[in-house]
Amino acid sequence: MRRTRSALAAVALAGSLLVVPSTATAATTTAAPWCGITWGSTPKGTLPWTAATLTGVRAGQHDCYDRLVFDVQGPAVGFRVQYVNQVLRQGSGLPLSLRGGAYLEVVVNASGTSPALNRSEMVDVSGYSTLRQVAWGGSFEGQSTVGVGVRARLPMRAFVLADGTTSRLVVDVAHRW
């Protein structure tokens, strides 16, 4: 009788140990993403080519992300936004010096000259959670490049808002994963 109780106690103890890790794993895999952000950090883009002109760049802060808006005179514009080891200047291929732990290359399928007086500080992003610097990389053969210094490689998204005569490329970079 004593052996039966010991055996039952051992089986019950082993069974309870098996349940605990399973419950802990389920709790960690069902956690919701921070701020509902599920963007990832892979390249984003669309291909349309138009005779558009980049006219301005502005920035804003939100609770969960920092935002850049590229104003374009013209219909829906194509773009490519991706993390790179270094952003290269249009035409020359020389590296663009940027602050931050990661670099976003924003290529807008629109020509133009720098829409800011200071090409290395196009937008004042001092005090932003994620953005560190926004710099002009040049315009060549209908494409304009802007380098964005970011605190770290974080989730980002990019999309276009168009009203028929103007477009806005919106780039959001999350504050954290």
Q: Give the residue ranges of DSSP H helices in the chain.
A: 2-29
In 3-state terms, what secondary structure has residue 64?
coil
Same domain assignment for residues 80 and 166: yes
In a domain, 115, yes or no: yes
The answer to whether 77 and 52 are in contact (CB under 8 A) is yes
In 3-state terms, what secondary structure has residue 125?
coil
Structural domain that includes position 167 = 44-174
Question: pLDDT by residue (tens digit) across 99-152?
Answer: 999 999 999 999 987 777 789 999 999 999 999 999 999 999 889 999 999 999
Same domain assignment for residues 25 and 103: no
Same domain assignment for residues 144 and 169: yes
Which of these ranges, 12-21, 86-95, 129-138, 159-168, has the smallest mean pLDDT? 12-21
Same domain assignment for residues 98 and 159: yes
Nearest to 177 by CA among 150, 156, 159: 156
* Number of domains making up the chain: 2
Tokens of 94: 């020389």
Question: pLDDT by residue (tens digit) across 52-80?
Answer: 899 999 999 999 999 999 999 988 789 99
Same domain assignment for residues 141 and 82: yes
| First and final C-alpha spacing in the chain | 57
Cα-flanking dihedrals φ and ψ of residue 146, to 5°? -125, 130
Same domain assignment for residues 56 and 105: yes
Same domain assignment for residues 102 and 156: yes
